[in-house]
Structure 1
Amino acid sequence: MPGRKLMRIAWPAFLAACLLQLVVFALVDPLELQWAGQGLGWSRQAVHAAGLFVFWGACMLASGLTLLLASDEGPEPSPVRPGSAG
């Protein structure tokens, strides 16, 4: 089952990263990016590849956190009794 759980995280994250990359690089020219005031000196393909992996990693982190918070493996909440405060 670990492979299935990983795919539940990786596949939606990949699709979100592709969409994010499409939007970002429609507005940003990869050759004009700078780091600490200096040009990167990377090719367009290298910047696109690095961007995809950075976006994919961030989206995987968000998807993994969502799966973790939505899982039933966490602690059970205490039941709220009718008439009790809280």
Structure 2
Amino acid sequence: MKYRLLIWILWPSFLVAGMAEGLLFTVIQPEDLLFFGHHPDISDEGIYTIGFFLIWTFCAVSSALTAYILPGIESPDSKEIDRGLI
């Protein structure tokens, strides 16, 4: 169940991160980025890669928080509570 939960979190966040990166880098060009007033000494592909993994991390955290706060279900015949996905 834990591996299935991991896939439920990572796969949708991967898809959304791909779309978000496409939208972000159609508006912002890597050569226009400045970090603390300096252009990073990284290739454009490196900036795309770092950007993708940062966006994917934020999307995965969002999906994990959603899975964590899903309500549990109390069974009618016992007092045990199913904690949802986690």
* Bin of the TM-score, shorter chain as denominator length: 0.7 to 0.9
Matches for 1:44-83 after TM superposition, within 5 Å = 44-72=44-72, 73=83
* Structure 1: 4+ residue segments shifted above 4 A: none
Q: How many residue pairs are counted as aligned between the two chains?
A: 74
Runs of at least 5 residues in structure 1 that lack an aligned partner in the other structure: 75-86
| Residues in 2 aligned to 1:21 and 1:8: alpha-carbon distance in whole angstroms | 20
Q: Which has the higher contact order (CA 8 A, sep 6+)?
A: 1
Q: Which amino acid aligns with 1:60?
A: A
2:78 equivalent in structure 1: none
Look up the SS of the partner of 2:67 in the other structure: helix
TM-score, normalised to structure 1, is 0.82
Larger Rg: 1
Runs of at least 5 residues in structure 2 that lack an aligned partner in the other structure: 73-82
2:34 equivalent in structure 1: 34
User: What is the CA RMSD across the aligned residues, in angstroms?
Assistant: 1.2
Change (3 A) 1:3 1:71: farther
